[in-house]
A = this chain, B = another copy of it.
Amino acid sequence: MPKRNISDISQLIDDDLKRFNELFKQSLKSKVALVDLITRYILKQKGKKVRPLLVLLASKISGGVTERSYRGAILVELLHTATLVHDDVVDNAETRRSFPSINAVWKNKVAVLMGDYLLAKGLMKAVDGSDYDFLKVITNTVKRMSEGELLQTSKTRKLDNDQETYFRIISDKTASLLSTCCEIGARASTNDESKIAAMREYGENLGIAFQIRDDILDYVGTSTLLGKPLGADIKEKKITLPLIYALKNSKADEAKKIIKNLKSGEKKIDVNLIIEFTKNNGGIEYAEKIAKEYSNKAIQNLSIFIESEYKSALQDLAVFVVERTK
């Protein structure tokens, strides 16, 4: 088990996170009643706030939290919330953190518009604060996230994925935002480009490690109240690192059988068969090894910063993301 989980790490900057929550709530006010109703609904679903946590910790080790750190944290959380709202439309999700999803309660129409609204709000914040450096980073991130999802969609449809494309997808759809959080946090408190680059790379490596672990948990996790059921990705024909490795390192006829089963339609896909195949062909161990490598790289990226409790927290976070069991 990792030394500390997200809650333990959040404790360390409890006051900063409280102030963030206050400012975040204020930033969501609208004169349209339906918008206010939905934002109150979103605020009730307290997420782990990993992205603001990253922004604030990155600021802490780069020189200290500033007003710009809070603006950056609000920007990334608004963007993240917008993408969650759109993702639920994208995935036809019925629930989000055990609440009915916005598209389930108010239909796709409202969910699409609400996502656009939240994104615009975040960008307006950055414009109003003249945080043009944040805008440069974040607009590129929005582009990468949608490109990554679209690439995954087309690969899923064709049932065709290789390790190189897999890394491109997870870098764009997941690591880009975590990297942006760390970069923005650093930019909020220093002009030192070497520190900014180090934090950007830390975030990228952390994100890749996080996503590989997420993909592993589809094979070995336990379904929990809040989590996805085991094999959810498999059912959606998402071919991720464990299976990519297993398919490449198994006998040709076995691999053929697996591909045939995946092509047989959602209801006929035999999740247990595919999980067993992946385990037996070393897919899990391989993916765990790679995730650990990225986690180590992330920890390496922190080496230019002086020792502090915040640096330790970021180190522990890199360990946590690859050792977590849900």
* Interfacial chain B residues near A145, Cβ < 8 Å: 116
Extra 5 A-B pairs, beta carbons < 8 Å, given A34-B154, A90-B109: A32-B151, A113-B149, A113-B150, A119-B119, A123-B123
Q: How far is the CA of A83 from the CA of B113 in the complex (A)?
A: 9
Given known contacts A146-B117, A151-B32, is B86 in contact with A112 (CB within 8 Å)? Answer: yes
Taking residues whose C-beta sits less than 8 angstroms from the other chain, chain A's interface range is 35 or more
Given known contacts A89-B89, A139-B123, A140-B124, is B153 in contact with A113 (CB within 8 Å)? Answer: yes
* Interfacial chain B residues near A130, Cβ < 8 Å: 132
Q: How far is the CA of A130 from the CA of B133 in the complex (A)?
A: 10
B154 contacts A33, C-beta separation under 8 Å: yes
* Interfacial chain B residues near A181, Cβ < 8 Å: none
Given known contacts A34-B153, A146-B114, A151-B32, is B90 in contact with A108 (CB within 8 Å)? Answer: yes
* Interfacial chain B residues near A109, Cβ < 8 Å: 89-91, 153
- The 9 closest A-B CB pairs, nearest first, are A120-B142, A117-B146, A120-B143, A34-B154, A123-B139, A116-B146, A90-B109, A124-B139, A113-B146
A6 within 8 A of B: no
Judged by DSSP, the binding face of A is helix
* CB within 8 Å of B: which A256-302 residues: none
B108 contacts A120, C-beta separation under 8 Å: no
- How many chain copies? 2
* Interfacial chain B residues near A90, Cβ < 8 Å: 108-109, 112-113
A34 contacts B150, C-beta separation under 8 Å: yes
A36-76 vs B, CB cutoff 8 Å, 1 = contact: the mask equals 00000000000000000000000000000000000000000
B32 contacts A114, C-beta separation under 8 Å: no
Chain B, Cβ-Cβ closest to A124:
B139
A326 within 8 A of B: no
Chain B, Cβ-Cβ closest to A140:
B124
* Interfacial chain B residues near A153, Cβ < 8 Å: 34, 109-110, 113
* Interfacial chain B residues near A313, Cβ < 8 Å: none
A147 contacts B117, C-beta separation under 8 Å: yes
* Interfacial chain B residues near A30, Cβ < 8 Å: 147
Chain B, Cβ-Cβ closest to A35:
B150
A166 to chain B, nearest CB (A): 14
* CB within 8 Å of B: which A143-184 residues: 143, 145-147, 149-151, 153-154
